[in-house]
Chains A and B, each alone.
Chain A
Amino acid sequence: MKRFLILMLLCITVIMLVAGCVPEKPVKDGKGELAVTIDREFTTPATHSPLEWWQTHHPTVINSGDIKEQDCLYCHQVDRSCNNCHGYVGVRKIK
């Protein structure tokens, strides 16, 4: 029993340590190192509306060829508002 408790305690400590390395999820103007930021001068284009739809469907739109990846980079900087989020979910990086 004592050994079991020690093992449990050890597991929980390891989980806590690992948890410390997991950042906040990437959110627009959110907290943490992965926060998505876009320069103020750019307004949200019509393609992004509604935003919930765009968040889940921008891969489909790009993969279908309707909009090119390069066109996004007019407003977005890859490491501040593409690849930080892609790194979180494990999608290939935008170049």
Chain B
Amino acid sequence: MNDAAMIWNLFAGVLIGLAYLSAFAFVAGLTLRLFLYFKTPVPLKIVQTPGPKNAPGVLARMAGDALIFPNLFQADKALWLGAWLFHACLLLIFVRHSRYFLYPVPELVIDWQAISIYAGFLFPIPALYLLWRRMASARVLFVSGLPDFGVLILLTAIAATGMLVNYYARAYLVDVKAFILGLLTLTPVAPPQHPVFIAHFILVCLLLIYFPFSKLLHAGGIFFSPTRNQIDNVLYPRYVNPWNEEVRIDQNR
């Protein structure tokens, strides 16, 4: 084996190690953080009116919150549009990517590809808007920290390398998929020797590691908001004081 091949093998090994490390960090971190959310006591009913009166109502409210952000819509129309487009693009991109992870690939994913690919083109617009918004107003800039910018920049960089891999410096999808399926089935093979793909892949690994410990966890945290996930039934049950003295009522009087 010559030097170049040896260095490549070493690098491939490191990359595979990074992939497993990030998968572990993601799964363990996510489980831990969500478990902590789950265990946090919520002793009071603080449901926001008008509250749902039963479990299906809560389900509908949470689904609405997660899918169309009604509260943000009331607060700030421009931000709502930017944020909604941003998340819709992420969802479509995610669905499209499932064909790199699944075998056999579901028919639905194949049919959706034609639409999903536009999400890739659209994505930079809301991403850059969200970035611009953080700097445009002094008030927003004041409450923005490094992570807020960092995450937007990371996601934009992932999207940019992704578009490059698909359009300008095409990677061979067969090798890409063999690499991913190899990782998933615990029989790893070397990644394709394609710098842009490798950059895309490393950035995604960084995102996976960072995700559970960052604000990105709002994706899971949203479902733990007590004001939104409680049933508004405080007044329904009849509470009887357990140490009340028994009162005899004479029925025959």
Contact = CB atoms under 8 A, between A and B. Distances in A.
B103 interface: yes
Interface string A18-55: 11011101110000000000000000000000001001
Contact of B174 (A22, A25, A57): A25
B171 A90 contact: no
Interface in B69-119: 99-100, 102-105, 109-110, 113
A55 B109 contact: no
A89 interface: yes
Contact of A87 (B105, B109, B186): B105
A22 B170 contact: no
Contacts of A22: 103, 181, 185
B187 interface: yes
Interface string B29-67: 000000000000000000000000000000000000000
Contacts of B104: 87
Interface string B172-191: 11110110010011110000
A90 B99 contact: yes
A18 B185 contact: yes
Nearest to B114: A92
B112 to A, nearest CB: 10
B173 A89 contact: yes
Interface residues of A, number: 23
Contacts of B184: 15, 19
A57 B175 CA distance: 14
Nearest to B189: A25
A92 B172 contact: no
A86 B145 CA distance: 45
A30 B97 CA distance: 26
Interface string A54-82: 01110010000000000000000000000
Interface of A: 12, 15-16, 18-19, 21-23, 25-27, 52, 55-57, 60, 85, 87-92
Interface of B: 99-100, 102-105, 109-110, 113, 170-175, 177-178, 181, 184-187
20 contacts: A15-B185, A18-B185, A19-B186, A19-B187, A22-B181, A25-B175, A25-B177, A25-B178, A56-B170, A56-B173, A57-B170, A87-B104, A88-B103, A88-B174, A88-B177, A89-B99, A89-B100, A89-B173, A92-B110, A92-B113
